Amino acid sequence: MPNYPSGNGSETAVREVAATFGRRETRQDPAWERDFAAWLKSARSREELLEMFGQFRSGESVFDSMMRRVTMRALCKSVGNDLQVAPSVVLKHPETMEFGHSVFIGAQTMIQGRFDGTCRIGNHVWIGPQAYFDARDIVLEDYVGWGPGAKVLGSTHTAEPLDVPIIATGLVIQPVRVGFGADIGMNSSILPGVQIGAHAIVGAGSVVTHDVPDYAIVAGAPARVLRFRNQE
């Protein structure tokens, strides 16, 4: 009879396995797929392309996945090779969005751009399911890991004058930058104007209100520096 771990802590097995996504080699998209996307971009209006993306948004098949990739290439400012788009992803103003090579976008992610905004997602970026991006001015550098349910807010209302409803006051857009190799924990929140340093770790459920230095590990609400990875 198998001897399963009891779950009391002392006998629970802990395993370390090799990374898969982070070590994935970029697969070159076939030339016909790129040509198809280029033809769609020239032959179809933005509204028609958005409708087409919606037709394949929820499908689980390989064909649905391929068509999401093709229509995103036609819709977005630029898309690299080996884009993976899970079902039920929502894009607002995709014409402002740039995606590098080997990007994964998890199911039910929403990326909210702006007609004059900046949204750049680097190479080998992994975005977990149910993530939310206020992508009016955001840059994720290469090899960023974005945990499931993590969110970023890139804008706030001035709340002035006081006698005007807050949602009717001016909107202040502040850039958010996430450095190379940083890891953003599950269900964490990054507020407007924050810069996350390279190789930093943001703990799950954290609320990041200030800049995070390179190699820092931060956690809490508001997030505070616990230690530095390069000083252990």
* pLDDT for position 12: 75
Work out the number of other CB atoms within 10 angstroms of the CB of residue 189: 20
Domain-ending residue, one of 75, 105, 139: 75
Count of domains observed in the chain = 2
pLDDT tens, position by position, 100-151: 999 999 999 999 999 999 999 999 999 999 999 999 999 999 999 999 999 9
Domain that includes residue 60, residue range: 30-75
Q: At what angle do helices 31-43 and 46-55 cross, to 10 degrees?
A: 130
For residue 16, tell me if it sits in a domain: no
Q: How far apart are CA 151 and CA 89, in angstroms?
A: 15
Whether residue 166 is found in the same domain as residue 219 = yes
For residue 87, tell me if it sits in a domain: yes
Whether residue 124 is found in the same domain as residue 162 = yes
Whether residue 56 is found in the same domain as residue 126 = no
Q: How far apart are CA 36 and CA 72, in angstroms?
A: 12
* pLDDT for position 7: 52
pTM: 0.91
- The answer to whether 121 and 141 have CB atoms below 8 angstroms apart is no
* pLDDT for position 8: 57
* pLDDT for position 4: 45
Residues of the chain with pLDDT under 70: 1-11, 232
Q: How far apart are CA 217 and CA 19, in angstroms?
A: 21
Peptide bond into 192 cis (omega under 30): no
Contacts of 168 (CB under 8 A, 6+ apart): none
- The answer to whether 100 and 125 have CB atoms below 8 angstroms apart is yes
For residue 210, tell me if it sits in a domain: yes
